[in-house]
Amino acid sequence: MQATLVNRIASSLGAADHPYMTGAWTPNFDEYDATDLEVIGEIPTDIDGVYVRNTENPVHAPIGMYHPFDGDGMIHAMAFKDGRASYRNRFVRTKGFEAEQAAGEALWAGLAEHPAQSKRPGWGAQGSLKDSSSTDVVVHAGKILSTFYQCGEGYRLDPLTLEQEGTEGWVPAGGISAHPKVDEATGELLFFNYSKQAPYMHYGVVGPDNRLKHYIPIPLPGPRLPHDMAFTKRFSIFADLPLFWDPNLLPKGYHAARFYKDLPTRFAIVPRYGQPEDIRWFEAKPCYVLHWMNAYEEGDEVVLDGYFQADPQPPPLEGYGPKLGQMMAYLDEHSMKPQLYRWRFNLKTGAVNEGPLDDRILEFGSFNQQIAGQKGRYLYSTTAKPGWFLFTGIVKHDLESGRSWSLDFGENRYGSEAPFAPRVGARGEDDGYLVSFITDMAADASECVLIDAKDVEAGPVCRIRLPHRISSGTHATWASGADVRREKARL
């Protein structure tokens, strides 16, 4: 079954000229429920759950220059059980989405434009953007929670039907940012937000019953641009990174990010239910980090892995003009050069030890969420196409032995963030599958692939054809089928 939106972008609006509205980033407008899917190979019977991915799909012609993070959120879900799979996709019906549907046009200017161009007040840390709920996605307390990177309201959907359930009721006035974290060991969800008003950051804990249990300020020297957080069994970890809005331009309404290379990176380590006075601050080399991976405690130390950027302000990519070229550079991992990196914070002495774990350009990683907050062995990073925000393959890291294995998706084939799905009855940390959507530009088609995490170099175990070619996007997650069904029964 297929439903189509009435108010959609038209070819006459200049989309063909924008690199992130064409090719692998061509927006989707159709919504599907599909159960009779072509399968190449055989779907294993020992995978049970749902793979959920968020993407950006602009419905209306943008106000000014379009940035892909401005696009309307669309959730794609592939559910697996008993050797069968079904696919669904839906736009996230945010308040901004519904308002623009009613108006028949874009009402909010995007990330690349001055806030004064917006026709209505906006949401988030910047205060003028549309909360498109198009960045991250997790499953907590039996429901999908989709989020917006500059702090939004958080939208809930049913993970199996994608039925819309509106905004999340516990979200505080400051909203929630990407990326909230689910601790599978406790059922808690940890989150943060940030703004242009003191104390500039807050942190909260939501219980397994989906009720807000804890909410405190994390005082910062001024407005900052954190994107992610991490946690251990006892602590939550936040960063005060030296890339933030130019304080001289903010009073004029310009949100121009600058890298202040003479400032250190500061880390806040706070007990999960701690107070502001319990925060321990540590200083490290100046950098920017878009995404953290796992963190854990080892003796007197807290250990944190993430993707280190030494110079997060590269020059514009050539051939696009200064403004578009700068946006293209910020979306290009080969310009930003993130590397897998480790920090060790000694809670007894205050010392920080840090250094790279791999010299390759890597980002958008995943690991077995059952060991989140505990010491783990395996991590799965993505590789990217030079000049583009497109994933070209996967690297599996053995953090214990230092070995790694790689899989390339193939020429003109671009994947999505690939979370780890534990095998039913798994007996080891890497006993399961990596799940990804692949867009094949040569075939003008998309598919879902399962990759044996124990042997990534062997390639997909099976390939499941989607009913349409989907747009590239940002983040994805995996949720256990047994957990989802148990929560649905409880609710």
User: Does position 8 have pLDDT exceeding 80, yes or no?
Assistant: no
Q: Which of 144, 153, 146 is nearest to 174 (CA)?
A: 153
Q: CA-CA distances (angstroms) from residue 339 to 49, 294, 301?
A: 31, 15, 22
Q: What's the pLDDT band for 481 if we cut at 50, 70, 90?
A: very high
End-to-end C-alpha distance for the chain, whole angstroms: 28
The answer to whether the CB of 207 falls within 8 A of the CB of 192 is no
| Residue 17: predicted pLDDT | 81
Q: CA-CA distances (angstroms) from residue 32 to 26, 88, 136, 296, 320?
A: 17, 5, 21, 41, 35
Compute the average pLDDT of residues 257-273: 98
Q: What's the pLDDT band for 11 if we cut at 50, 70, 90?
A: very low
Helix (H) or strand (E) holding 402: none
pLDDT digits (tens, 9 = 90+) for 37-50: 999 999 999 999 99
| Residue 255: predicted pLDDT | 93
- Which residues are bridge partners to 451 per DSSP? 434, 460
Q: What percent of the chain has pLDDT over 70?
A: 97
User: Does position 141 have pLDDT exceeding 60, yes or no?
Assistant: yes
Compute the average pLDDT of residues 198-209: 98
Q: Which of 295, 412, 293 is nearest to 358 (CA)?
A: 293
Burial 194-228 (b: 16+ CB within 10 A, else e): bbeeeebbbbbbbebebebebebebebeebbbbbb
User: Does position 398 have pLDDT exceeding 50, yes or no?
Assistant: yes
What tokens does 483 get?
A: 């957990």
Peptide bond into 199 cis (omega under 30): yes
Give the domain extent around 232. 2-490
| Residue 94: predicted pLDDT | 98
Q: 469: exposed, middle or buried (C-beta count within 10 Å: 0-12, 13-18, 19+)?
A: middle
CATH code of 289's domain? 2.130.10.10
Compute the average pLDDT of residues 39-65: 97
Compute the average pLDDT of residues 305-311: 97
pLDDT digits (tens, 9 = 90+) for 424-452: 999 999 999 999 999 999 999 999 999 99
pLDDT digits (tens, 9 = 90+) for 270-287: 999 999 999 999 999 999
Domain count within the chain: 1
| Residue 15: predicted pLDDT | 62
- Measure the CA–CA gap between 152 and 155, rounded to whole angstroms: 9
Compute the average pLDDT of residues 54-77: 96
Residue 51 DSSP symbol: E
- Measure the CA–CA gap between 303 and 305, rounded to whole angstroms: 7
Compute the average pLDDT of residues 335-349: 98
Identity of the residue numbered 326: Q
User: Residue 14: what are its φ and ψ, rounded to 5°?
Assistant: 90, 10
